[in-house]
């Protein structure tokens, strides 16, 4: 038996995708996954991935900023924060017609989910009326809908559910231990409370985080454990690689080793086997080879389109060419 094989089997048995729902994953167990030899981790992630998904299928989502800039939160990574001087202007909310045109274009390009993001701490009553109309209109196009609007109360959550919203995105961003180094204007529990309201309303949860913000491996493991221990864990898990924007506190953060990013994708796949693990922000800076490794590690969703909220994203043609080279196809079943 090769060195380390016994501990490897023990880890896999503990963090098996057949584990009872009530059995929590510890941060130590997730960290042990991060510390596996790369080939062993990738092999296990592929096993888990193939158990639940077509390994050559990727779900395509398009993200549109419906309200850009001027956010009252101080998230250290975000160019839309009013605390940072990044050149991002505070703009009005888009009109319904503008959103519908963008959704139609996304559908024609091959996306099946349309995500609407707004830069604010929480929506006002007036804001919610506009967003509800947008959700209904996009649903009317036959697309899945997703929104990320900050914190929600119970009434707002019910309004979105009744409008037909399929997914609500509210990222945990990082581990509870590292959170205070990145954000001071809201607590970690605020994020958990919003996710709980979304669950109670009967919507799907989209929640993930950002890596490369200076966190340790243990803190990266803490994020994955926190997500995996949500009951149930999110149906969609975006993993973002920090996009460093001049004017934000994290603009000079050291680059994350690309293979450490791949490891994060693989660990998320093993810890949350039934989730769509989305290769999210930071893809524009990734080589085709690193993206291919991410798909091999279990990523099966991407943001598709030339722009995210305010940062660039690989062009549609580049994504199509890469998927063709890898023998992959779009889909969500």
Out of 146, 191, 220, 294, the active site residue is 146
CB count in 10 Å sphere of residue 242: 23
Out of 31, 44, 191, 206, the active site residue is 206
Out of 31, 44, 78, 197, the active site residue is 78
**Residue 71 φ then ψ, to 5°:** -70, 140
Asked about 146 being catalytic, the answer comes back as yes
CB count in 10 Å sphere of residue 287: 9
Asked about 294 being catalytic, the answer comes back as no
Asked about 115 being catalytic, the answer comes back as yes
Out of 44, 75, 191, 220, the active site residue is 75
Whole-angstrom distance, CA of residue 275 vs CA of residue 202 = 17
Asked about 5 being catalytic, the answer comes back as no
Out of 31, 44, 113, 115, the active site residue is 115
Which residues on adjacent β-strands are paired with residue 60?
302
Out of 31, 44, 71, 186, the active site residue is 71
**R_g (Cα) of the chain, nearest Å:** 19
Out of 113, 220, 276, 278, the active site residue is 278
Q: Which contiguous run of DSSP H or E holds residue 156?
A: helix 154-163
Whole-angstrom distance, CA of residue 150 vs CA of residue 47 = 35
Q: What is the DSSP string of 244-277?
A: --TTSTTTTPPPPPHHHHHHHHHHHHHHSTTSEE
Annotated catalytic sites, by residue?
A: 71, 75, 78, 115, 146, 206, 278
């Amino acid at each position: 038996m090769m060195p380390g094989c016994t501990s490897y089997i023990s880890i896999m048995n503990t963090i098996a995708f057949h584990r009872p729902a009530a059995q929590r994953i510890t941060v130590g167990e997730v960290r042990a996954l991060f510390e596996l030899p790369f080939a062993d981790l990738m092999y296990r992630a592929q096993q888990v991935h193939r158990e639940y998904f077509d390994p050559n299928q990727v779900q395509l989502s398009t993200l549109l900023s419906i309200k850009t800039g001027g956010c009252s939160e101080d998230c250290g990574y975000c160019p839309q924060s009013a605390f940072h001087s990044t050149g991002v202007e505070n703009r009005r909310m888009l009109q319904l017609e503008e959103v519908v045109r963008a959704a139609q274009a996304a559908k024609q390009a091959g996306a099946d989910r349309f995500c609407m993001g707004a830069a604010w701490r929480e929506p006002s009553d007036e804001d919610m009326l506009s967003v509800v109309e947008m959700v209904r209109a996009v649903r009317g196009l036959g697309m899945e809908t997703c929104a990320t609007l900050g914190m929600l109360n119970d009434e707002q959550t019910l309004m979105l559910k009744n409008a037909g919203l399929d997914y609500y995105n509210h990222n945990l961003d990082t581990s509870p231990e590292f959170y205070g180094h990145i954000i001071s204007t809201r607590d970690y529990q605020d994020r958990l409370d919003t996710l709980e309201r979304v669950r109670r309303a009967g919507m799907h949860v989209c929640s993930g985080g950002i890596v490369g913000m200076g966190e340790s491996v243990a803190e990266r493991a803490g994020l994955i454990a926190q997500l995996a221990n949500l009951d149930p864990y999110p149906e969609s898990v975006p993993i973002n690689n920090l996009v460093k924007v001049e004017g934000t506190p994290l603009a000079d953060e050291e680059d994350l080793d690309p293979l450490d990013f791949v490891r994060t994708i693989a660990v998320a796949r093993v810890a949350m086997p039934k989730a769509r693990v989305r290769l999210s922000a930071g893809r524009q800076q990734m080589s085709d080879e690193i993206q291919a490794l991410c798909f091999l590690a279990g990523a099966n969703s991407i943001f598709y389109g030339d722009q995210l909220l305010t940062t660039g994203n690989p062009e549609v043609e580049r994504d199509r060419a890469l998927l063709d080279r890898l023998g992959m196809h779009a889909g969500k079943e």
